[in-house]
Amino acid sequence: MKRITKLLALTATLAVFAIPALAQADQCNDDNKGAWYKTFFDNYKGDPPAQKVAYDAAMKYINACPDDPNDAQRKYMKKFVDLMDKNGDKAKAAAAFDEALKNKNYADQLKWGKVVLANEPENANVTTILGVIGLADKNLLNESASYATKAIQLIEAGKPISAYQHDQALAYLNWTLAKSKLQNSPADALNDLLKAAKLESEVKKNFQLYLDISAAYAAPHAKLSKDYQDSLNPDKTESAQSKVILENLNRIIDNEIDAMARAAALAPADVKKTIVGDLTALYKYRKKDATDANVTELVANVLSKPIPDVPTPVTSVPTPTPASTPAATSGTNGSGASGTTAPAASKRPRS
């Protein structure tokens, strides 16, 4: 019993002395500072495991010793710790971004892509990916469009990308910009859409792109149609002004027809039928003697022709030449009907 009592007393005595010893181990004294800094200095240039040792030693120094402008060692180690933390955050963001890409999680791509770009603002690859995701998730479209603008600038400045081929990236990015404009300012989307369609990439083979082009033409179509009606004489006969407006309207309609024909040529069968129906109505409106066979021929041949640019407005009606297809005659809209209204934009299928 006496022996047990002595052992307990000895244990208690050792514990009393151990507490200050443990406390002293984390104190900011010269011995500890020297040991921590030596461990840091011997390892901070090494491989990742060695750098972890250096990081832990630096953290002991920083946590134990208050910030002192005269302590050069602490200041140097703090820079190392901050850099390691930043690199760790970058690695975490890059890994999370790659995982989001793998899982096609577009919201997370945007979330983690922003973190990556905060550290690498000139990363054209990540910027391009963020500039394209709006095509896949319409809820991200407006924010994606801002990255599309930046990505185009980076690519055109020669920054390297690997997610897409050069022209394919630009086509998708211009399409994103156009999609963001179609809701509120469709006419402004035309130039972006035509850029996408004229680049050599898989984008130009997507029927939806041409439905978007047709939809973008619907705004100037509607405006010119109204202007035409308003410019007729009181008895609904042609005026000099209405003839010019009609010429501009017909040019817009011709480009609508071209876009719809391209969409029909590229669309899957279940969608093509609806597009051809709308195309036929518009084509027969524009060409009074057109037949279903003419529409079929148009669709069959349209992809071999260059995509027309946005028509330049004219201020006078050109005089037709015998060798050319006769333009709409005075008092007609291309269908032979005087003073009629161009049909409203059809409700074509859209994604």
Number of structural domains found in the chain:
1
4 has pLDDT over 60? no
The whole-angstrom separation of Cα 95 and Cα 116 is 10
Tokens 């690498």 sit on residue: 120
The whole-angstrom separation of Cα 285 and Cα 343 is 8
Burial string for 33-59 (b: 16+ CB within 10 Å, else e) reads beebbebbeebbeeeeeebeebbebbb
- The CA–CA distances, whole Å, from 329 to 246, 317, 333 equal 10, 10, 8
Question: Average pLDDT, stretch 154-166?
Answer: 93
Does the residue 72 lie in any domain? no
pLDDT band at 25 (very low <50, low <70, confident <90, very high): low
134 has pLDDT over 50? yes
- Can you say whether residue 160 is alpha, beta or left, with left for phi > 0 and alpha for psi between -120 and 50 degrees? beta
> What integer pLDDT is reported at residue 249 of this predicted model?
96
Does the residue 79 lie in any domain? no
Nearest of 181, 224, 182, 178 to residue 197 by alpha carbon: 178
Range of the domain at 342: 207-351
Question: Average pLDDT, stretch 271-289?
Answer: 95
Does the residue 316 lie in any domain? yes
pLDDT band at 61 (very low <50, low <70, confident <90, very high): confident
Continuous H helices in the chain:
2-25, 30-43, 48-64, 72-102, 106-119, 124-136, 141-156, 166-182, 190-198, 207-231, 240-266, 269-286, 292-301
Does the residue 224 lie in any domain? yes
Does the residue 228 lie in any domain? yes
- Amino acid (one-letter) located at 100: A
pLDDT band at 323 (very low <50, low <70, confident <90, very high): low
Does the residue 37 lie in any domain? no
153 has pLDDT over 50? yes
Joined together, the tokens standing for residue 349 give 């299928």
pLDDT band at 46 (very low <50, low <70, confident <90, very high): confident
Does the residue 252 lie in any domain? yes
Alpha-carbon Rg for the chain in angstroms: 35
> What integer pLDDT is reported at residue 181 of this predicted model?
94
The whole-angstrom separation of Cα 189 and Cα 179 is 7
Q: Regarding predicted confidence, which is higher, 60 or 300?
A: 300
The whole-angstrom separation of Cα 135 and Cα 140 is 8
> What integer pLDDT is reported at residue 22 of this predicted model?
41
48 has pLDDT over 50? yes
Question: Average pLDDT, stretch 131-145?
Answer: 96
* Biggest distance spanned by C-alpha atoms of the chain: 130
Give the range among 4-18, 127-141, 168-182, 240-254 with minimum mean pLDDT: 4-18
Question: Average pLDDT, stretch 65-85?
Answer: 84
> What integer pLDDT is reported at residue 80 of this predicted model?
80
> What integer pLDDT is reported at residue 337 of this predicted model?
35
Does the residue 292 lie in any domain? yes
